[in-house]
Structure 1
Amino acid sequence: MITPMRSLLRILSLLILAVQECRTVCVDPNAQAHNEIQSEAVVGNPMKLTCISCMKREEIEAVTRVNWYYKPKDSRDFRQHIFLYDSRPQDLEGPWKGRLMWNGSKDMQDVSISITNVTMNDTGSYECVVHRTFYFNLYTPTFSINITINLVVRETEIRDSTAVYSEIMMYVLLVFLTFWLLVEMIYCYRKISKSDEQAQDTAY
């Protein structure tokens, strides 16, 4: 006969095995966006430049090299090399030095960087170039992808009208619920008081 304790231990063991078998799921937000992202930032705030390149075969050894470039607004030909990941993050010399931080993952599927203190001059296009070499026996295929982030920097945050409307409705709902709760408390109090009075009259 299986005791409840033994059943509990069996369930816990299955849960532990399930957790051990779990793998990180990589979701590529650029798959349907033609590798181009529109984004906004506010002056003085940090900003993450998201670049994700999922690996379909994680069990195959791969070496990843990532280059980040910046292209000023309305510039067609000029672009500046601002960040490099080649075995380790490398903050390159230039006006961006000290303002960029590596924000990627250990498995090198998320190869994002962050701007620590956004300025108005940061408006422009950021290009993330991922070059990956796979090692499978004697075969070493390569893979490259370019993701462009068009960043617009604003002095103040522009709030979405839908978010403002939702916030107003939330406060209206809170006020209504508070009023309704107060009415219910008064009603219950009066009902209890009336019951006590009837009980006292019956006792006498």
Structure 2
Amino acid sequence: MICLFTLLVVFNLLVSQCHGGCAEVDSLTEAVAGEGFLLGCISCKRREEVSARSTVDWHFKPPGEEEFRHIFHYDHPSAEILHEDFSGRLEWHGTKTRDIQIGAIYIHNVIFNDTGTYRCTINRTLFLPHYDQLVAVVKEVELNVVAVANRELTVVISEIMMYVLIVVLQLWLVVVLVYCYKKISEEHEARDARKALKAQAEPLESKDICDGVQLE
């Protein structure tokens, strides 16, 4: 799933550079301790022909606390880690232009204390013909850090279907082999029967020929 989201992020980066479409994909919500994790945040600009400039801020709130901590700020091309708990562990993985549509960040070496609520805020200024319009988009991600990745239901179902298919194919192969063996055996028996009938018929034909000669 992480790879899938990464591919979607890359796709959105490419289409944004080509002035194409944009698809908003929700972030994953489960990280594994000791591994990396991509916090997703996508906000598509509705009018591609309008130029814009954006900044992105990430805040974090641990479980049981009421206040968010400002942990990251991006204003192209500079990125700042603003909280010591994330020092050296956050990396910008969003749009690398001033017109930001993907505000994703990557957490290196995830720890259990990273569990909590993450808030992504994209402040976008649209440069319209007669005035500038400020638009703020806020998205939240409830992240849960686990020791071992939980296997998704779709993966389990896929594996079950694979084993079922293997068993079915094996049974089908056995049935085909049995059918072919019976078919070959029947052909051998029929051929032997024809040979036997032919062998029996040959003396009778010889006797008839001899009888005809004697009659003459």
Shared fold per TM-score greater than 0.5: yes
Residues 31-70 of structure 1 correspond to what in structure 2 (within 5 A)?
39-70=29-60
109, 112, 119: which one aligns with 2:101: 109
Q: Within 2, Cα distance between the matches of 1:193 and 1:105?
A: 70
CA deviation after TM superposition for structure 1 residue 90, in Å? 1.0
Q: 2:160 is matched with which residue?
A: 168
Q: 1:147 is matched with which residue?
A: 139
CA deviation after TM superposition for structure 1 residue 179, in Å? 2.0
* Paired residues of 1:65 and 1:85 also in contact (CA < 8 A): yes
CA deviation after TM superposition for structure 1 residue 170, in Å? 3.3
74, 87, 90: which one aligns with 1:85: 74
* Paired residues of 2:50 and 2:126 also in contact (CA < 8 A): yes
Give unmatched runs, 5+ long, in structure 1. Answer: 1-21, 31-36
Aligned length: 176
Q: Within 2, Cα distance between the matches of 1:69 and 1:26?
A: 24
Deviations 1:19-63 (A, max 9, x none): xxx963222246xxxxxx782212122211111111011111100
What is the aligned-residue identity percentage? 40
Q: 2:201 is matched with which residue?
A: none
CA deviation after TM superposition for structure 1 residue 189, in Å? 4.7
Secondary structure in structure 2 of the residue aligned to 1:164: helix
CA deviation after TM superposition for structure 1 residue 198, in Å? 4.6
Does 2:110 match 1:118? Answer: yes
Point out which structure has higher relative CO (alpha carbons under 8 A, 6+ apart): 1
Residues 7-26 of structure 1 correspond to what in structure 2 (within 5 A)?
24-26=20-22
* Paired residues of 2:19 and 2:48 also in contact (CA < 8 A): no
Q: Within 2, Cα distance between the matches of 1:134 and 1:202?
A: 92
- Code of the residue aligned with 1:88 in structure 2: it is P
* Greater alpha carbon shift after TM alignment, 147-156 vs 168-177: 168-177
Q: Within 1, Cα distance between the matches of 2:193 and 2:91?
A: 78
Residues 187-202 of structure 1 correspond to what in structure 2 (within 5 A)?
187-192=179-184, 194-195=186-187, 198=190
Larger Rg: 2
* Residues 188 and 57 (structure 1), Cα distance of their counterparts in 2 relative to 1, 3 Å cut: same
Give unmatched runs, 5+ long, in structure 2. Answer: 1-17, 199-216
